[in-house]
Chains A and B, each alone.
Chain A
Amino acid sequence: MARIVVDPVTRIEGHLRIDVEVEGGAVTNAWSSGQMWRGIEVILQDQDPRDAWMFAQRICGVCTTVHAIASVRAVENALDLAIPLNAQYIRNLILIGHALHDHIVHFYHLSALDWVDVVSALDADPAGASRLAESISNWSGNGRDAMQNTKTKLQALVDSGQLGIFQNGYWGHPAMNLSPEANLMAVTHYLQALDIQRKANQAVAVLGSKTPHIQNLAVGGVANAINLDNQATLNMTRLYMVKDLLDEVAEFVKEVYLPDVIAIGAMYPEWLGHGAGVTNYMAVPDLPLDGAGTEFDLPGGTIMNADLSTFRPISAFGDPYLRDGVAESVAHAWYEGSEDLHPWEGETIPNYTEFQEDGKYSWVKSPRFYDEPVQVGPLAQLLVGYAQGHERTIRGVDDALSRASSIAGAPLGLDVLHSTLGRHLSRAIRAGMLADLAGRHWQLLVDNIQSGDTTTFEPFEFPDGEIRGYGFHEAPRGVLSHWIVIRDGLIHNYQAVVPSTWNAGPRDSQSRMGPYEASLMDNPVADPELPLEVLRTVHSFDPCLACAIHTSDPEGRELSRVRAL
């Protein structure tokens, strides 16, 4: 038996550590450990609730926008405050731009090298790569010249002896099985995606004043002033700038990202069978269509045990089904306490013990929903939408599965989504839905402004005494919720239950595994020295735990290591 520790804790901060035991070429046990205490909860105590979002967006440098939005929604929920329609639509456009950026970067720049063998692309025939690409999409960047150009750049890198970013890849690994032409196509799209993700980021910056930390939020609405005739405010010029940028991003999503993931899914059919793990799913509705958050363009709810007939909706901001169902276990996490606590009663009292595989081994708590572990993320959102009969979701899922089936030459049904590559495919399908919704919410905003409504902010006052609220957002990684208790206008308690907490949490008080852990069970591992398959499954969740802290390492000390014991 081999013990593999994927453990980058040699740095002064901590992040995700994955331990697996491998026997007979497959994973027989797994532990997921967050190696960094987050502590936002302690920092926010006694602060002004109107400032909480500014701090919250510093929790994570990559997920800034999503924490900001969940925070203002939490305070607004406590105040029972509806916000102006313009504010809702502007927030929605920012969320769409952020999510598209995040999904594209996650696939191409953070996980494609789990599937794409860069060095193999050097053996590709550029004309063949072009023919392959043109067979799956109408993208203008699929020509022979584009493929040849990529090959030339790659060859120059190899000749220089410095593969740079691609050094991270496991090229030549036996689990890599795309053709050289498919690899060259994917690397070409990797490079093109760099320009596109920048455009998504720019759209967010125009509306939010800046990225990565948007400046335009406020409890009660947004700070954007709208005056179509004033150059200093949000006007038609800027709105068209946003539209042009989002249109370009949308085209890339539908003509490149989605077709690529469908093709890779069809070319690695075995990975539509590994990595299911926890098959209870939860998503929250998002992209509200009214000021109070009772109607949405993206569906929310739960299904249990992969059974669509168990669907229950989460349908409005403040929904009691979600509000009353969350409790966090610290049985295996480095905190004091023995009972599972609701976030409003949540405590964050550290109790560090070293890594004990049968005891405490993570800084991440284990949230449970009515006592059950649940998986969150784009896969969860598609499944609850499908179960609910949500038309846009059904169309997106059916279309992608039918295209994947024809490439694979075998029928692929909804069941294949419960898998490692199913999570990637779900993310791409969701991105396709968001690409359509970008245009819709842009039009809703413009129509509302042209009807004469320029309001962007709803005034409010904090009452004396205690109020409580929670805000949710279906973030790129899934259900994000912020929970707040306000006393006499100051924060008395604050808890953030983040998507990676639901997915990456350790075992709970009944010793049941979290989704990362469960999904690794039975994964094949061809070579324990190069556990590519473990990374494939962990990366499919789009893990994000490490961002709370950052220190550059210019002298090349060890950033991470993979060791077999």
Chain B
Amino acid sequence: MVERGPEPGTDASDPADGRGADGRIVVLGIGNVLTGDDALGPTVVTTLGAEWQIPSEVMVLDAGTPGMDLIALASGARGIIVVDTVLADGPPGTLRIYDRDTLLGKPLTPRVNPHAPGLIESLFTLDLSGHGPAAVRLIGVVPEATDVGVGMSDPVTASVPKVVDVIVRTLEEWGVPMAPSPEPVKPDLWWQVAARGVFIEGSSSPSRRD
């Protein structure tokens, strides 16, 4: 049996992560790695971090499905870039890009479940508190299927480098010079060890894997 306890001194605590977003640009990958194509956001930000040098003024975070906890992650940021699957027209893998005015231009509908996704609600609330980011960009990809199970569809997998490219261009547009990592590594998509097809009738749309 291999020992796999923590090794002394390998603790990755970064006090900066406790400081909040103050003045930085925050890149959030949103989605659940356990539900098919919804792993897009975490996959993209993990890939970005493995292939590009991340400047200190940028915070890249696999944010999971934080709901209104987005407020805590984005509070005080100068700009936020959000990567997520989106409900939109177009074949799976289609990129859709939305900016601040589009996102905040729609009236909100009542929520029964207080933990329903809260990107737009979080942005409104941040604005009201005076900590809202000046620049907002949602980079969305139309999913093929988001059933319970690990693994993304081919078209959504193929969109990952395109989304990474849009993030890099957006950061440059917002005044942050970006350079590829001199020693790119393979992204640590640790959840893929559990990849296998799972098909659940009634829970979601038909499966697309194996």
A residues contacting B by CB (< 8 A) are 6-8, 11-18, 36-40, 42-44, 47, 50-51, 54-55, 58-62, 64, 101, 105-106, 109-111, 153, 157, 162, 164-165, 167-168, 191, 194-195, 197-198, 201-203, 205-207, 209-213, 215-216, 218, 220-225, 232-234, 237-238, 241, 245, 334, 350, 352-354, 363, 456-457, 459, 461-462, 489, 535, 538-539, 542-562
Pairwise interchain contact B117-A552, C-beta atoms closer than 8 A: yes
Which residue of A198, A545, A562 is within 8 Å of B20 (Cβ)?
A: A198
Mark B185-210 against chain A: 1 for CB-CB distance below 8 A, else 0.
00000110110001011111100000
**How many angstroms from the CA of A350 to the CA of B198 in the assembled complex?**
11
Task: Check A551–B38 contact: CB distance below 8 A.
Answer: yes
Please, which residue of chain A has its CB at the minimum distance from the CB of B107? A167
A217 to chain B, nearest CB (A): 9
- The CA-CA distance from A206 to B11 in the complex, in Å, is 11
Total B residues in contact with A, Cβ cutoff 8 Å: 88
B43 within 8 A of A: no
- Please indicate the chain A residues that have their CB under 8 angstroms from the CB of B33 in the complex: 58
Which residues of the other chain, B, contact A17 by a CB distance below 8 angstroms?
A: 112
- Return chain B residues, CB-CB under 8 Å to A59: 34
Q: Are B34 and A55 in contact (CB under 8 A)?
A: yes
User: How long is the Cα–Cα vector from A456 to B106 in the complex, in angstroms?
Assistant: 50
**B73 touching A39, Cβ below 8 Å:** no
Q: How far is the CA of A168 from the CA of B114 in the complex (A)?
A: 11
B121 to chain A: which residues have CB within 8 Å?
Answer: 164-165, 168
Contacts of A13 in B (CB 8 A): 35, 146, 204
**Does B6 sit within 8 A of A, measured CB to CB?**
yes
Contact residues in B for A39 (Cβ distance below 8 Å): 34, 148-149, 198, 200
B3 to chain A: closest residue by CB: A459
> Does B102 sit within 8 A of A, measured CB to CB?
yes
Assess A55 versus B6: contact at CB under 8 Å? Given A209-B13, A552-B87. no
List 13 extra interface pairs beyond A211-B17, A549-B35, A552-B30, CB under 8 A: A12-B146, A13-B146, A39-B148, A168-B109, A201-B72, A213-B62, A223-B11, A542-B114, A550-B32, A550-B117, A552-B82, A554-B119, A554-B138
Q: A6-B112, A18-B112, A556-B106 are in contact. Are A61 and B64 (CB under 8 A)?
A: yes
Q: Is B25 on the interface with A (CB-CB < 8 A)?
A: no
Q: How far is the CA of A549 from the CA of B85 in the complex (A)?
A: 10
- Please give the distance in Å from B33's CB to the nearest CB on chain A: 5
Q: Which residues of A contact B15 (CB under 8 A)?
A: 206, 237-238, 241
Q: Which residues of B lie under 8 Å from residue A153 when comparing CB positions?
A: 128
Interface residues in B80-126 by Cβ distance below 8 A to A read 82, 84-88, 96, 98, 102-104, 106-117, 119-121, 124-126
| B68 part of interface (Cβ distance < 8 Å) | yes
Kindly provide the distance from the CB of A270 to the nearest chain B CB, expressed in whole angstroms.
Answer: 22
**B5 CB to closest chain A CB, in angstroms?**
5
When distances are taken between beta carbons in the complex, the residues of chain A under 8 Å from B47 are none
Task: Return 9 A-B CB contacts under 8 Å, by A number.
Answer: A64-B64, A157-B128, A165-B121, A212-B64, A225-B8, A234-B11, A245-B18, A352-B200, A562-B112
Measured CB to CB, the nearest residue on chain A to B41 is A550
The 4 A-B residue pairs with the shortest CB-CB distance in the complex, in nearest-first order: A61-B65, A352-B202, A110-B114, A223-B6
> CB distance B112 to A560 under 8 Å?
yes
For residue B14, CB closer than 8 A to chain A, the reply is yes
